[in-house]
Copies of this chain bind each other. A is one copy, B any other.
C-alpha cells in the first residue's frame, strides 16, 4: 500500500504566527473569515430525480441529451445550466465572480471547459475525479479568505452516458455490471461563495493526500477510495481536535455501500465510531427500487447532493455542522489496462451555519 505518513509534523517552526492561525495540525486550513454560500444549485437527470432526493434538484432534464446532439455536449449544457441557476439564486452576474473552479471526469475535462467557455469568468480548471467538488470549494473558499476575491464559484458534473462511453463500454454494448460497481450519476452541483452573507459558512479545509491501497478492480471504486477517506477524515479530526460526533453529518463523496462499510470498519478498528456518517453515493438512489448496485458515483454525485439536499437542509435548520468529504479514484482506463492499482484521494470541507 502506498500510504506514507511522515513522522514529522509539517506545520513546522519556520512558520510565523500569522501562518499558525490558518494552518492547523498537519494538513488543515482554519479560515479566519469563513466565506458564505451565497447561492447553490443542483441539476440532475430523470433517474436521479426518481430517487429519495428527487425533490432537492433545482432542475431536472427529462431528456438525457439536455437538448443536445451528443452526451458530452449534454454534460456541458448541464454544467452551464447549474452554474446559471446558482448565480441567479445568489443574485449575482457572471462578471461579479472573481474566480471559478470547476472540473469533471471526461478526458481533458471537456464537460467543464465547453460548458463554461461563454461565461467570461476567470477560470481555474481542477481535476480530483469524484472529489472535484470538495477540491473546488476548498480552493474557492481559500481564495476569498486569503483576500484575493470577494466572490468565487465552483461547479462540477458527471453524466452517466458520457462516462460509460469513456470509462467502460458504449451504451449499446449493454455491459454487465458486478455487484460492487457504482452508477455514474447524471448530475451537477454549483455553489457561489461570498465574503459576506448569512451562511452556511466554509470554516475549515483539509486537503487530501494520494492513497493507493493496492486495489486493482476498477469495478470496485468504493474499496479503492475508502482508505483515502479514512486518511483525510482521521487527519481532519486530529488537526481540529474535533470528535466525529461534533458533526451532525460526516458525508463522504461516493464510496457507495461497499466503500462506506470499509470506511466505518477502519474507524471501528481504531476504537472510534463514525456514527453520523452518510455517503452521497448511497443517498442519491433507492437501493430497493433503483438498480445501481453499490450506489452512485461521479463528480456530479456528491456535488448535487451537497448543493441540493445538504445545503437546503442546513438552511432549513435540519443540520448545523456538516463535514463534506468527497472522494475520488485517480485512475484512467489506460492505467487499468496496464494492470495498475488505483490511487485515490479525499478532500474535506467543514461547513457550519
Measured CB to CB, the nearest residue on chain B to A99 is B207
Measured CB to CB, the nearest residue on chain B to A345 is B123
A337 CB to closest chain B CB (Å) equals: 10
Chain A 131-186 interface residues, beta-carbon cutoff 8 Å to B: 135, 138-139, 142-143, 145-150, 166
Flag whether A298 is at the interface (Cβ < 8 A): no
Flag whether A70 is at the interface (Cβ < 8 A): yes
What is the bound-complex CA distance between A110 and B6, given in angstroms?
24
| CB pair A22 B147 closer than 8 Å | yes
Flag whether A116 is at the interface (Cβ < 8 A): yes
What is the bound-complex CA distance between A114 and B10, given in angstroms?
23
| CB pair B22 A110 closer than 8 Å | no
Inside 8 A of A109's CB, which chain B residues have their CB?
A: 127, 330
A142 CB to closest chain B CB (Å) equals: 6
Inside 8 A of A123's CB, which chain B residues have their CB?
A: 207-210, 345
Flag whether A46 is at the interface (Cβ < 8 A): no
Chain A 1-53 interface residues, beta-carbon cutoff 8 Å to B: 2, 4-6, 8, 10-12, 14-16, 18-19, 21-23, 27, 29, 32
Flag whether A120 is at the interface (Cβ < 8 A): yes
| CB pair B120 A139 closer than 8 Å | no
Q: Hey, which bits of chain A sit against chain B, CB under 8 A? A: 2, 4-6, 8, 10-12, 14-16, 18-19, 21-23, 27, 29, 32, 69-70, 72-73, 93-99, 103, 105-110, 113-114, 116-129, 135, 138-139, 142-143, 145-150, 166, 195-196, 207-212, 330-335, 338, 340, 343, 345
A118 CB to closest chain B CB (Å) equals: 5
| CB pair A150 B12 closer than 8 Å | yes
Interface centre among A70, A97, A114, A331 (most CB of B within 10 A): A114
Inside 8 A of A334's CB, which chain B residues have their CB?
A: 72, 106-107, 110, 166
Inside 8 A of A331's CB, which chain B residues have their CB?
A: 108, 110, 113
| CB pair B343 A147 closer than 8 Å | no
What is the bound-complex CA distance between A22 and B146, given in angstroms?
9
Inside 8 A of A147's CB, which chain B residues have their CB?
A: 18-19, 21-23, 32, 146
Given the contacts A10-B96, A23-B150, A110-B334, A120 and B207 also touching, CB distance less than 8 Å: no
Of B120, B126, B335, which is within 8 A of A127 by CB?
A: B126
| CB pair B120 A4 closer than 8 Å | yes
Given the contacts A4-B120, A110-B330, A119-B4, A10 and B95 also touching, CB distance less than 8 Å: yes
Given the contacts A19-B195, A335-B72, A340 and B124 also touching, CB distance less than 8 Å: no
Query: 13 additional contacts, CB 8 Å, given A123-B208, A143-B146?
Result: A6-B120, A8-B93, A12-B96, A19-B147, A22-B148, A23-B147, A106-B332, A114-B335, A116-B210, A122-B208, A142-B143, A142-B146, A146-B146
Given the contacts A18-B147, A147-B18, A209 and B126 also touching, CB distance less than 8 Å: no
A17 CB to closest chain B CB (Å) equals: 10
What is the bound-complex CA distance between A179 and B332, given in angstroms?
32
What is the bound-complex CA distance between A195 and B147, given in angstroms?
17
What is the bound-complex CA distance between A129 and B113, given in angstroms?
11
Inside 8 A of A126's CB, which chain B residues have their CB?
A: 124-127
Of B70, B120, B330, B340, which is within 8 A of A209 by CB?
A: B120
10 shortest interchain CB distances as A-B pairs: A146-B146, A6-B95, A122-B207, A113-B330, A108-B332, A4-B120, A107-B107, A117-B343, A27-B122, A125-B127
